Amino acid sequence: MNQMKDNLEDYLRYAQVERGLSINTINSYHQDLIEYYDFLQENDEQTWEVDPILVNSFFAALRDQNKATSTLSRMLSSLRKFYQWLLRQHIIEKDPLIMIDAPKKEKRLPVALSSTEVEDLLNSPDVNKALGLRDRAILETLYATGMRVSELINLEMGNLHTDLKLVKVLGKGSKERLIPISDVAASWINKYDQQVRQKQILKSGKYTDFIFLNSHGKQMTRQAIWQIIKKYCQKAGITKNVTPHTLRHTFATHLLENGADLRVVQEILGHSDISTTQIYTNLTQKHIMEVYNKSHPRT
C-alpha cells in the first residue's frame, strides 16, 4: 500500500474513532475519497498536495458525468475535511481546496405526500399476513415520528416508552434524542410484536431486541425498508418520486401546515442546524398560497 493510501485509511480510522461518525458516514467518506484518489492516480500524482487546477479538473469531470449538485457539494465537503486533517498532521503544507468554490445549490424541494396519499399508503399492507402487519407498523412509525430509516432499523424494544408516548432514537453522530410517538403507531408496533415478532424469536431460538425483523428473524436493512416503501407506494397508486426520506419529509410538512413551531420540528427531526429544517417552510408557504387562492373571494 502506498503512502497516499495509508493517509486515507488513517483518516477514516480517525473519523470513526475520534469523531464518532456513523458507519454510513464513514462509508460515504471512503467512497468519495477513493474516487478522488483514483483520479489523482490517473494523473500520476504521488502526493495529496496537488495544484488547485487539478482539483478543478476533478470537479469538472464529475459535472461532465452529470453528477447532481448535491453530490458535488458532498464530495467537496468530504475533501475539505480530509485536507484539513492532512494539514493538522503536517502531511501537506498547502490546502489546494482553498480556492475551490462550492457548487451552487439547486433549489429542489423535498417531495411530500398529501394526507390522502398517506392514508392510502398506510392502508396498503395486508395486515392479515405476518409481513403485512410488520410493514404497516413500519409505515405508521415512520409517519408518526419522522425518524430516519437508519434510526428505524436500529430501534430496540427498550427504546419504546408507550406510557410516556416517547421513543428514543440514535441519530447522526451517535446523538440520542427522545421524540413523540402516537398511540396509533405504538398500537401497531404492539400488534406486530405480539402476533409476529415474538413468534419469530421463539422459532429462531435467538433473542434480539431489535423491533423490526426480516423473515429470518434478523435486523432489517435500510435497503429492505426502501423496497417496502416503494412497493406500497406503487400499490397505493402514488406516482410521486418517492425516496426513503419521503415519509420524514411528509411528517415535517404536515406538522408545519398544522401550526407546529419550527424549533419543535427541528428538535424532533434531530437537525443540528435550523436552516436544514427551514426548507419545509417553503413547502408550507406553497400550501398557504394554495389555500389563499382557493379561499379568498377576490383572487
Smallest CA-to-CA distance from 152 within 226, 217, 256, 204 is with 226
Which of 30, 235, 271, 287 is flagged as catalytic? 271
Catalytic residue among 136, 197, 248, 254: 248
Verify whether residue 271 is a known catalytic residue. Answer: yes
Catalytic residue among 36, 134, 136, 148: 148
CA 285, CA 298: separation in Å to the nearest integer?
20
148 is catalytic: yes
Q: Reply yes or no on whether 222 is catalytic.
A: no
C-beta separation of 226 from 244 below 8 A: yes
Q: Torsion over CA of 241, 246, 250 and 256, rounded to 10 degrees? A: -110
Query: Bridge partners of 179?
Result: 167
**All 3 cell numbers of residue 15?**
473519523
| Known catalytic membership, residue 245 | yes
Asked about 90 being catalytic, the answer comes back as: no
Q: Are 232 and 139 in contact (CB under 8 A)?
A: yes
Active site residue 248: yes
Sheet holding 160-161, edge to edge: 160-161, 166-170, 176-180
Q: Which of 172, 177, 222, 235 is catalytic?
A: 172
Distance between CA atoms of 54 and 31, rounded to whole angstroms? 19
Q: Write out the catalytic residue numbers.
A: 148, 172, 245, 248, 271, 280
